[in-house]
Every structure is written in C-alpha cells, then in structure tokens.
Amino acid sequence: MHKHMKTNHTFAKVTKAIIPVAGYGTRFLPATKAQPKEMLPVIDKPAVQISVEEAVKAGITDIILITGQSKRAIEDHFDRNTDLELRLRQAKKSKELAEIIEVSELANFVYIRQKQALGNGHAVLCAENVIGNEPFVVLWPDDYIISKKNCIAQMVEVYQEYQSPVMGVLAVPRQDITKYGIIKNKHIKGNVHEVLGIIEKPSLDKAPSNLASLKGYVLTSDIFPVLRRTRRGKGGEIWLPDAVSVLNKKRSVFACEFSGKVYDLGSKLGWLQANIYDGLRHPNLGPALRKYLRTIV
C-alpha cells in the first residue's frame, strides 16, 4: 500500500482529548499569578471552555485536563456549584442557571496532575493510562481559530481517512513564520498535506512553507513509547513536536490545513484582539462596542 493511501477498514472512533493546562502563563503576569491563564475569558467564556465545546461538537466525550498547582479554578469551573445554582434559582435567573449547569455536563472530565513542569510532551505522557490504545486529540487552548468549520472535526476526519497521526496547520503571514513550528509539506489533496519535516521557529530564509503548527493533533498510542525516549529539549522540557518528528521517520504524519484567522489567547495582544473581534460579532454587545470604538479610533 502506498505510504499515504487511504484505508477502507473500520477503526476506533476518536472520543478522547487531552488538554494540557498546567503552564504558568508567564506572558500574562501578574494576572496569572493566582488564576489560570486558561480561565481568562473571551467575552464571557474561558479559553479552556471554548476548546472543550469545540471538542464536544467534534464527537469527543472524554476530556482529560493535565493540570498543575493553582489550577483548581479549572476543576471548579466544570463542576457543579450548588450554592450558586440555588441563588440563581431563587432569583429566577433561569437562563444563567441553565448555562452553568450545561458547562458541567459538557463531557466526562478527568483531571491529572503534572507534578513537574517538564513540557507539553510530558503532559501528554501523563495521560497514557487513561488513553490506553485509543487514538486521541491534543488541544492547545491558546490557539483560538475563527473558522467556518470545526477545526477538531476536520483533523479527526483526516485521521479517519488515513489512520495516521494528524497535526493542525494554518497558513500564517510571512512576518509571523518565525513564531511557530513550520512544516515541510507535500500536498495530497484539498486541505490535506503529508508532513515531511517540522522546523521550530525557522528564520524566513530557512522556512520550508508558511504552514504553522497550530491548534493541536490527533495522535495514536505509539507516540507514548517515543515520548518516553525523547530527550529533554529547550528549557529542559520534553516537547511533543520533537516526538512527532521522531514518529514521522517511522510512519506517515499528515497535516490538516485550516482556513480562518488565529488569535493567540496566551498573549495580551492576541487576547485583546479576540475579545474585540468576538465583541463586534456579539448580538447584544456588538452595536454598542462598534459605536464606542469609533469614538476612540
């Protein structure tokens, strides 16, 4: 069979997603000193909830959150709050009551502590016993992509067709190439590419494309033994892209190219831009925000 020929077999569905949320959020200090950066909202939804909702719409039923110290707010957010529910019920705020109950029922949540800050590859490795031999999604809540199509569902579709690991990519402006991991690619069809290599934050003259690794991956369980053997890289941490690059030497890895615009919710400017963009689209806030922005710009 050709290296990237699609298969006709039936394989396990992708129902589990790992969301690493144990980082310190140093780019947002002092706001993130005692508050997880993933809980910073776009309008009224925390970044981590946006990721969870997108995953659930793509068929994910089990959300595995890799947490760390000072991340209890994330667990509390997806839990029931009986005192708040009682107050909302007494105040006859049925809309708000329904919204907070819905958050706790989005998925089956599993929480795993990453006891040491050893990188995003180590965070994924922490979930090995929960994942078992199943395929799974890895998501980065910082990457907020405004797209007409569900990005996670697109990655899962590519995985289901080729039964190989898939990474999300987005074409970025030339001036942003040096900020991301950039893939060397061979176009297969439509928005599907075969990954021939990954270069982390290349200089413009060495960038093999403008396709940046964003949003996350669909991975298979054979990534775990690779992660266990992966040497610590920058900052003494185990990096997931390094392990995917090693895996790519043994088997095909595909890229699912998204169309849309990305906002980096882990940066102050990206977070502000996302709030303004979504604020302008908001049915209640949009007209007033647009009017206000005209007075100051």
Domains of the chain: 16-266 (3.90.550.10), 267-297 (no CATH)
Q: What's the whole-model pTM score?
A: 0.91
- According to the model, what pLDDT value does residue 2 have? 40
Question: Mean of the pLDDT values across residues 161-179?
Answer: 94
Q: For the chain, give the percent of residues with pLDDT over 70.
A: 96
Mean confidence (pLDDT) of the chain: 92
Q: Do the Cβ atoms of 253 and 262 come closer than 8 Å?
A: no
Cα-based distances in Å from 31 to 38, 77, 82, 116, 121? 11, 18, 27, 22, 26
Residues 6+ apart with CB under 8 A from 288: none
Q: Which residue has the higher pLDDT, 170 or 118?
A: 170
